[in-house]
C-alpha cells in the first residue's frame, strides 16, 4: 500500500481489517453498483427512483422545525423545481445555499408531500459562469466499512488503475486458452469493471454478468479449483494403512440387520471398500437424503477398519446426534464383540479417564462423540478411520485436528465425511474438488412421502385438535418451537411455555419436553420415554433436527416455520415418515409472510426430494448460507458467485486441465494471486 498516496497508518489498519492490504487487493475490490453521472438531467424530466445529476439555482433555503429539525432547499433549472432535504447540517452548509447560488447536485429522486425531493444529496457549489464537465465514465460505488469512505476508495482505485498502466499485473493464463474460452485479458477486464464507459450495459454490470466481470470471476474460481486439486494431489502422496479385513464380520453384521441394504447403499459401500484397501488415505464424501441409510453404510466401513486392527473415531456436531449414533453402533456391534466407547465434553472425571485409557490401549475399538474427540488428551493406539457426520457444521481446523490424531509414521487415517444436506453439483464441483463423492440416491422401500401443509398460527386450535386425533389413534407427535433470536435460553423458554399451554389444552395426553439447556440425564430419559411410547407429544427445540428415530411418530408441528431455512425444515420433517403410517408435517407461520418465506414453504409442500430442495435452497439463499461457510471458513469468493457463475464451471475444469498439462508454472501464481495465505478446507 506504500505505493498509494494518502494511506497513512490509520487508513492502512482500517483497510487491512477490510481485507485490502496491497495494490492488487484494491484492484480486486470491485464495485457493487454504478451510478450514471455522465450527463446533466433537466429537473422536469426526473421521475421518482431516478438517480441523476442536475445543475440548478437556489430559490429558497429555510430551516423547518417539526419532529426533526431539517434544512429545506428549493432549487430550479427552468424546466422544473426540486426540494433538497437535509437532516444533518451545520451553519456553514446553510449559508452556502444563499438565494441565486448555482449548485451541481447528485442524488436519488423521491416523491415528496409537495414536489419531488432528494434527501441528503451530494452537491458542489458552481461559480456563476462555470461550465464544469461531467464524469466521463460511470461512477463506481464500492463496498465500504466503518472508517473507509466511498470517496477514499474511489481515489485509491484511481491510483491503482494508473499504476496498472505502467506496471501491469502478470497474465498467468496463456493467450491461446483465453481465446479458446472467449475471455478478455486481465488488464482490460479490471479497467472496464472499475471505470465503465457511459454506454456500458449497466444491467449486466449490476447483475455481475458482464464479460469483464465474468473474466475475473473465472480466474478466481479457477484459483480455488486449482488449490483443491493441488491439495488432493498432496493428500495422495501421503500413505495410509490398507484395511483389508472384515468380510466375514461384515456378512454377520448385514445378516443381523432387520432390513436389506438398498442398491444405492450397496453401491456406496462397494466404493468405500475399494478406497479402504488402498495405501493412501480415503477422502470420500457420502451424501444422502434424510433417512436414506448413511449410518449403516458408515458402520460397515467401521467394521472393515476394526477387523484390520485399527480404531475408528465417529464425530457428530451435537450431543443428541452423537448419542443416537452411540446407541445404534453399540446395538449393532454388541453381538460382534466390538467395543464402542462414548466421549463428549460432559464426560468428566473418572469416567473420562477410563475412556481415554481404553482408547490409548486400543481396548476401545470405536469411539463416538462430539468436539471432545480432538482435544489434546485424547490419544489413540492406532486410528485408521475417521467418520465425520454433518460435516458442514464443523470448522476446517476441527476436521484436521481429528485427522491428525491418527498421524503416525507418515501414515494418515482414512476419512469418511457424511452429510444429510445434499449439495448441488454446482457446489460439489467447486467446494469438494478435494473429495471423492458418493450419493445414496434411493430411499428404503416402503417409505411414504410426508404430507406437508402450511397454516397461519391463527389456526392453532385446529392444529391442536389434529394432534389430539393422531394421538388417540395410538400415534405420536412432535411440536417444535423456534425463535428468530439466536439465544438458546429464549428458545428453551419458548419450548417450556408451549409445553405448559399444550398440557392444559391436551390434558388427556402425556406431553414431554426436550431442549438444549436440560441436564443430559433428564433429556435422555424423556427421549427414551418417547421412543417407548410412554410420551404422546414431544415438545422440543430444534435439537431434534437430526439423530432422532421414532417410527411411531407420524405428525410434526413446526412453529414459526417461516424463520427457518429449507435445509433445516427438511431435516426436521425427516423425523417423521419413518413408520408404516401416513405422516404429516404442519408448518405454522406468523402472517404476513415475506416473499422469500412464502417461496420456502411452497418448496416444502411441493417436494420431499432432498436434492431438489437443496437446489432450490441454493437459488433462494445462495451458497454461503447453504454451506454454512460463515462458520466453517470453507470457501469465500471475493468476486465470483457460485450460483450466478455456475455456467463457468465446465470452463474452469477445462482450464485447470490445460494449465496442468501445458503451463504448470502458472498454477501456483494463480492460486497465490487469489487465495494468498488463506487456510483451505481439507488442507494437508
- Here the cell at position 123 is 452537491
What is the distance between the alpha carbons of residues 545 and 18, in angstroms, rounded to a whole number?
Answer: 36
Paired strand residues for 75 = 58, 82
pLDDT at 478 over 80: yes
Residue 432: pLDDT band with limits 50, 70, 90:
low
Q: What is the pLDDT of residue 115?
A: 94
Segment 314-343 mean pLDDT? 88
Integer CA distances (angstroms), 135 to 53, 119, 138, 194, 627, in order: 10, 22, 7, 14, 42
Q: Which residue has the higher pLDDT, 3 or 627?
A: 3
Q: What are phi and psi of 682, to 5 degrees?
A: 75, 15
Q: What is the pLDDT of residue 623?
A: 53
Question: Strand, helix or coil at 547?
Answer: coil
Query: DSSP string of 376-434?
Result: TT---S-EEEEEEESGGGS-HHHHHHHHHTT-BTTB--EEEEEESS---HHHHHHH-TT
Domains 39-134 and 451-607 belong to one CATH topology: no
Beta strands in 217-332 (DSSP E): 283-288, 311-315
Highest average pLDDT, of 589-593, 608-612, 664-668, comes from 664-668
Residue 518: pLDDT band with limits 50, 70, 90:
confident
pLDDT tens for each residue of 224-278: 888 888 877 877 788 899 998 788 999 999 999 988 999 999 999 999 999 999 9
Residue 429: pLDDT band with limits 50, 70, 90:
low
Which of 428, 392, 389 lies closest to 296, judged by CA? 389
Average predicted confidence (pLDDT) for the chain: 85
Q: How many CA atoms lie within 13 A of 167 on its CB side?
A: 6
Q: Among 483-497, 536-550, 655-669, whose mean pLDDT is lowest?
A: 483-497
Secondary element (H or E) of residue 271:
helix 263-276
Q: What is the pLDDT of residue 488?
A: 57
pLDDT at 72 over 60: yes
Residue 353: pLDDT band with limits 50, 70, 90:
very high
- Count other Cβ atoms within 10 Å, centred on residue 277: 13
CATH class of 247-440: alpha beta
Integer CA distances (angstroms), 551 to 538, 576, 577, 583, in order: 14, 7, 7, 10
Segment 439-452 mean pLDDT? 83
Q: What is the pLDDT of residue 52?
A: 93
Question: Strand, helix or coil at 102?
Answer: strand
What is the distance between the alpha carbons of residues 292 and 438, in angstroms, rounded to a whole number?
Answer: 13
Task: Give domain limits for the chain.
Answer: 22-32+150-237+653-684, 39-134, 247-440, 451-607
CATH superfamily, with its number, for domain 451-607:
P-loop containing nucleotide triphosphate hydrolases (3.40.50.300)
- Which residues have a Cβ under 8 Å from the Cβ of 12 and sit 6 or more positions away? 1
Residue 626: pLDDT band with limits 50, 70, 90:
very low
Which CATH number is 39-134 given?
2.40.50.140
Segment 334-360 mean pLDDT? 90
Question: Strand, helix or coil at 274?
Answer: helix
Q: Which residue has the higher pLDDT, 669 or 638?
A: 669
Q: What is the pLDDT of residue 487?
A: 52
pLDDT at 326 over 80: yes
| ∠ CA 360-364-370, rounded to 5° | 90
User: What is the pTM (predicted TM-score) of this model?
Assistant: 0.66
Question: What 3 state SS string does 426-479 have?
Answer: HHHHHHCCCCEEEEECCCCCCCCCCEEEEEEHHHHHHHHHHHHHHHHCCCEEEE
Residue 484: pLDDT band with limits 50, 70, 90:
very low
Amino acid at each position: 500500500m506504500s505505493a498509494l498516496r494518502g494511506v497513512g497508518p490509520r487508513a492502512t489498519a482500517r483497510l487491512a481489517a477490510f481485507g485490502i492490504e496491497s495494490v492488487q487487493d484494491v484492484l480486486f475490490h470491485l464495485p457493487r453498483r454504478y451510478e450514471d453521472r455522465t450527463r446533466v438531467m433537466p429537473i422536469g424530466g426526473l421521475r421518482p427512483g431516478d438517480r441523476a445529476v442536475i445543475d440548478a439555482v437556489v430559490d429558497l433555503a429555510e430551516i423547518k422545525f417539526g419532529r426533526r429539525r431539517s434544512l429545506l432547499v428549493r432549487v430550479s433549472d427552468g424546466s422544473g423545481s426540486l426540494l433538497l432535504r437535509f437532516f444533518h447540517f451545520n451553519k456553514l452548509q446553510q449559508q452556502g445555499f444563499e438565494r441565486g447560488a448555482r449548485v451541481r447536485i447528485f442524488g436519488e429522486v423521491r416523491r415528496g408531500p409537495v414536489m419531488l425531493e432528494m434527501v441528503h444529496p451530494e452537491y458542489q457549489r458552481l461559480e456563476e459562469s462555470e461550465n464544469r464537465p461531467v464524469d466521463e465514465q460511470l461512477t463506481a460505488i464500492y463496498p465500504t466499512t466503518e472508517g473507509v469512505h466511498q470517496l477514499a476508495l474511489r481515489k485509491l482505485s484511481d491510483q491503482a488503475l494508473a499504476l496498472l498502466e505502467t506496471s501491469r499485473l502478470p497474465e498467468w493464463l496463456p493467450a491461446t486458452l483465453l481465446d479458446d474460452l472467449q475471455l478478455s485479458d486481465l488488464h482490460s477486464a479490471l479497467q472496464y469493471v472499475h471505470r465503465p464507459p457511459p454506454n456500458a450495459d449497466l444491467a449486466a454490470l449490476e447483475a455481475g454478468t458482464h464479460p469483464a466481470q465474468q473474466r475475473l470471476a473465472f480466474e478466481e474460481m479457477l484459483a480455488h479449483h486449482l488449490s483443491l486439486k493441488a491439495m488432493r494431489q498432496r493428500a495422495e502422496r501421503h500413505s495410509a494403512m490398507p484395511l483389508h479385513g472384515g468380510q466375514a464380520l461384515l456378512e454377520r453384521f448385514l445378516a443381523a440387520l432387520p432390513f436389506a441394504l438398498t442398491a444405492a447403499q450397496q453401491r456406496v459401500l462397494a466404493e468405500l471398500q475399494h478406497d479402504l484397501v488402498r495405501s493412501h488415505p480415503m477422502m470420500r464424501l457420502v451424501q444422502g437424503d434424510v433417512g436414506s441409510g448413511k449410518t449403516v453404510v458408515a458402520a460397515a466401513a467401521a467394521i472393515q477398519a476394526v477387523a484390520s486392527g485399527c480404531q475408528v473415531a465417529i464425530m457428530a456436531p451435537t450431543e443428541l446426534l452423537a448419542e443416537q449414533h452411540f446407541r445404534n453402533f453399540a446395538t449393532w456391534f454388541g453381538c460382534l464383540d466390538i467395543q464402542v466407547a462414548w466421549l463428549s465434553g460432559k464426560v468428566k472425571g473418572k469416567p473420562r479417564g477410563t475412556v481415554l485409557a481404553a482408547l490409548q490401549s486400543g481396548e476401545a475399538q470405536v469411539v463416538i462423540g462430539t468436539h471432545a474427540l480432538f482435544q489434546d488428551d485424547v490419544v489413540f493406539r492406532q486410528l485408521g478411520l475417521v467418520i465425520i457426520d454433518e460435516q458442514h457444521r464443523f470448522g476446517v481446523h476441527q476436521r484436521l485436528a481429528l485427522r491428525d490424531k491418527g498421524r503416525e509414521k507418515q501414515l494418515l487415517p482414512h476419512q469418511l465425511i457424511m452429510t444429510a444436506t445434499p449439495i448441488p453439483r454446482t457446489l460439489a464441483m467447486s467446494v469438494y474438488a478435494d473429495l471423492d463423492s458418493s450419493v445414496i440416491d434411493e430411499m428404503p422401500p416402503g417409505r411414504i412421502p410426508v404430507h406437508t401443509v402450511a397454516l397461519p398460527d391463527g389456526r392453532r386450535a385446529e392444529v391442536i385438535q389434529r394432534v389430539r386425533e393422531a394421538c388417540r389413534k395410538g400415534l405420536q407427535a412432535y411440536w417444535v418451537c423456534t425463535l428468530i433470536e439466536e439465544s438458546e435460553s429464549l428458545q428453551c423458554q419458548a419450548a417450556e411455555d408451549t409445553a405448559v399451554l399444550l398440557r392444559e389444552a391436551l390434558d388427556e395426553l402425556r406431553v414431554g419436553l426436550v431442549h438444549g439447556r436440560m441436564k443430559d440425564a433428564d433429556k435422555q430419559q424423556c427421549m427414551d420415554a418417547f421412543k417407548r411410547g410412554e410420551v404422546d407429544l414431544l415438545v422440543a427445540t430444534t435439537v431434534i433436527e437430526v439423530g432422532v428415530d421414532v417410527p411411531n411418530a407420524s405428525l410434526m408441528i413446526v412453529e414459526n416455520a417461516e424463520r427457518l431455512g429449507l435445509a433445516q425444515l427438511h431435516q426436521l420433517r425427516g423425523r417423521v415418515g419413518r413408520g408404516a403410517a401416513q405422516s404429516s408435517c404442519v408448518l405454522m407461520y406468523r402472517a404476513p409472510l415475506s416473499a422469500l418465506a412464502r417461496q420456502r414453504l411452497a418448496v416444502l409442500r411441493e417436494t420431499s426430494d432432498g436434492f431438489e430442495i437443496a437446489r432450490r435452497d441454493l437459488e433462494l439463499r445462495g451458497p454461503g448460507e447453504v454451506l454454512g461457510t460463515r462458520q466453517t471458513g470453507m470457501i469465500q469468493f471475493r468476486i465470483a458467485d457460485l450460483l450466478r457463475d455456475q455456467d463457468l464451471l465446465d470452463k474452469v475444469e477445462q482450464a485447470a486441465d490445460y494449465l496442468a498439462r501445458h503451463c504448470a508454472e502458472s498454477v501456483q501464481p494463480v492460486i497465490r494471486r487469489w487465495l494468498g495465505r488463506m487456510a483451505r478446507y481439507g488442507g494437508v
